[in-house]
Chains A and B, each alone.
Chain A
Amino acid sequence: MKFASWLRSWEFMLAIVLAVELIVLGIINPAFLNIENLLFSTSDFVHVIIAAIGLTLIIMTGGMDISGVSVMGMASIVCGLSYVAGAPIELAVAIALVVGFAAGSFNGTVVANTDVNPLVITLAMMFLYAGIATGLPTLLDMMGFASMGPGGFEAYQYEGISGLPKHFTWIGTGGIGWIPNPLIITIVLAAAASWLMLGTRFGRYLKLIGVSADVARYTGVPVKRTLIAVYAINGFGAAVAGLVLTAYFTSARSDLGADALLNIITAVVLGGSSIYGGQGSVLGTFLAGLALGYLRQGLLALGITSDVVPVIVGSVLIGTVALKIGMSVLNTKRANRAAYAAERMAVSGNGG
């Protein structure tokens, strides 16, 4: 029974889609199906999946956070600046993670305490964090920190900060056996988020708030605290994504990940989350992120220009949602018809 219902699940469908996609691309271009190549090419796009995992938890509550793309860049530049300002890389990474967590908590605090649409709040935050990320180098100069380069910290704003230690860049470029480190980090985070969502009280709170924040409040769910926590987790996740990307590119930049928003939201929605809340799956997001990432790789491998990719991603996003809406309308209609027929039968049965 359980197995049968799993076969009908959205995640299973995604897994099939992913498999078919890889096979089709492989048939057209056999070089694509090289396992090692397949695994290592994920490093180009896993930052999208990492950011999408946190967003899945937020969308579960019916919320939204588009500032993650700025937090990625902010975490990257904070890490880089801390390092060139003299902090050991471990400390620099810790500072960047704390900054991401704090940024997320701030988002959550404003969302939980006002009735302003989370989209607007995080829109403002997106500007704010992106601005802080680009402005930080000059701020450090103004505050009189001694810089290492001749152009002051400001030079880093345009060039990015390279020369990060090898054992840090190994996180982005190395791997254990055939499995690249970024993918391992993604899988660990996805597993942790999945467990959080399915196995803990906190995860249930997210779902209850998403189904109805009002009912949750009347029931005694700590709505505000939960919201702040989930936005904080998302900020932390975005910071991890930014650091992984920094290590992969071996350079800290304030604009890392800035163009990932469409891909992140598409991964979440394609992964089965409803943006109205209450429904979502980290596994779905993970699989959808892989499917999208490989789609891009595959199209590029086929010689299709990267310009077409966003057209396809956008269409996939719209098509998925339209399909879901159509299916739910049909289901409701069918259920209502059945209920009416049953009642009608009961009444005529009583009468006769």
Chain B
Amino acid sequence: MMKVFKSREFLVLVLLVVLILSVATVNKAVLNPITLINIVNSALFLMLIAMGQMFVVQTRGIDVSVGAIAGISAVIFGFALNAGLPLPVAMLFALLTGLVAGSINAVGVVFVGIPPIIMTLGTLGAYRGFMRVLTGGSWIESIPQSIKSLAVTRFFSVPLMVWAVAALVVVVAVLLARIKAARNFYAVGDNYDGAYLLGINVKATRFAAFALAGLFSGAAAIVFTGQIGFVPMQTGNGLELKAIAAVVLGGVSLMGGTGSIWSAVIGALFLTTVDSMMIFLKVPGSWNNAVAGAVLLAVVVFDYLIRRSVRRRQLAARAAEMRRSEIEAEGAKSMPKSANKTLQPTEASS
């Protein structure tokens, strides 16, 4: 249990609550449950994309094409619905589009050896261009409004979409805890060579990470299209970078090996909440990006400082252990020297 409280996810969650409460001292309206539910509702798109991104970042990769994948999946979803396909089939098409697009990234990164930032930047352009080519540059508007009705359906005043994504998050969390291969994401990101030497199929793991990023972006496209009822050309624009910011904020290190599905969820909630809180503080929306950037910067620098001090403390502890063992060994051989200075481990207090 202690582990949960010490985790970065929990830290950011606490920050989130503090943020909401402190805004509440200025404007009580924030604490209205409907407000909070709406924040969650508007975070869903980013949350799903961030969940996919989480796998990639955890394995020490980066995928800047997820927003474009969401865009192209949304277009395919819209086409499928307009072609009169039943909703489940259309959803399958959207997911499949995401999976294929993610797998293309995976092939370039894993089998050709192209650096992830280059590969996904290239496909970012390619997918976004392809999306415009498919639609001729215009919005897809004539989508059957039955899908929109899904978005306005509420159970206990919580939108159906929120329930669906919450269920998905729980299912994914359980699966990740249950499926042993899920640990390979941590292992590969944490220590690539070590994972390889342990016999883990590192290529398959990295491949799966990029493919999953695509799949989740496909899922995000379904939620997005459902929520707004049409597919604008900007779908997913800039979301790739927000998704990275969300997972890093939630505790996934770009050095790999840390974080969980909750990092993506909480990181996305946090960024969306920051946007909403600005409204309650009457700060113009034009400052949203600046605040998001400042928060991300503060978190990664703070994280670096914590990591550094932990590392120093561990080194000091080990040095002290060695010294004790040494003194014991000397003591066994001869009388302990009184002149033996006991040195404090030089803690970095800076």
Interface residues, chain A, with chain B CB atoms under 8 Å away: 64, 110, 114-117, 119-121, 123-132, 134-135, 137-139, 154, 157, 261-262, 265-266, 269, 275-276, 305, 307-315, 317-318, 321-322, 325
Contacts and interface: CB of A to CB of B under 8 A. Distances in A.
B113 A325 contact: yes
B118 A321 contact: yes
Contact of B119 (A131, A135, A311, A318): A318
B121 A131 contact: no
B62 interface: yes
B129 interface: yes
Contacts of A318: 108, 114, 118-119, 122-123
A117 B255 contact: yes
B124 A314 contact: yes
B290 interface: yes
Contact of A311 (B62, B126, B137, B245): B126
Contacts of A115: 304
Interface string B22-65: 00000000000000000000000000000000000000001000
A119 B133 contact: no
Nearest to A64: B117
- SS class, residues of chain A in contact with chain B: helix
Contact of B300 (A64, A120, A138, A317): A120
A315 B289 contact: no
B124 A128 contact: no
A120 B31 CA distance: 33
Given A119-B62, A120-B254, A269 B290 contact: no
A137 B130 CA distance: 36
B293 A128 contact: yes
Contact of B121 (A110, A126, A262): A262
Given A119-B117, A135-B287, A325-B114, A309 B301 contact: no
A116 B301 CA distance: 8
Contact of B296 (A124, A135, A157, A275): A124
A131 B293 contact: yes
Interface string B243-276: 0110010000011000000000000000000000
B304 A311 contact: no
B300 A305 contact: no
B241 interface: yes
Contacts of B130: 311
- SS class, residues of chain B in contact with chain A: helix
Interface in B161-211: none
Q: Which 5 A-B pairs have the closest CB atoms?
A: A131-B290, A127-B293, A128-B293, A131-B289, A314-B125
Contacts of A305: 132-133, 137
A41 B112 CA distance: 36
Nearest to B301: A114
Given A127-B293, A154-B284, A314 B126 contact: yes
B292 interface: yes
Contacts of B119: 318, 321
B317 interface: no
A137 B62 CA distance: 34
Contacts of B297: 110, 121, 124-125, 128
B121 A314 contact: yes
A314 B123 contact: yes
A134 B254 contact: no
A197 to B, nearest CB: 22
A120 B248 contact: yes
Contacts of A129: 293
B291 interface: yes
A234 B117 CA distance: 19
Contact of B241 (A110, A121, A126, A134): A126
B126 A269 contact: no
A311 B254 contact: no
Contacts of A121: 297, 300
B275 to A, nearest CB: 11
Nearest to A134: B286
Contacts of A275: 115, 117-118
B290 A317 contact: no
Nearest to A328: B113
Contacts of A117: 254-255
A325 B111 CA distance: 11
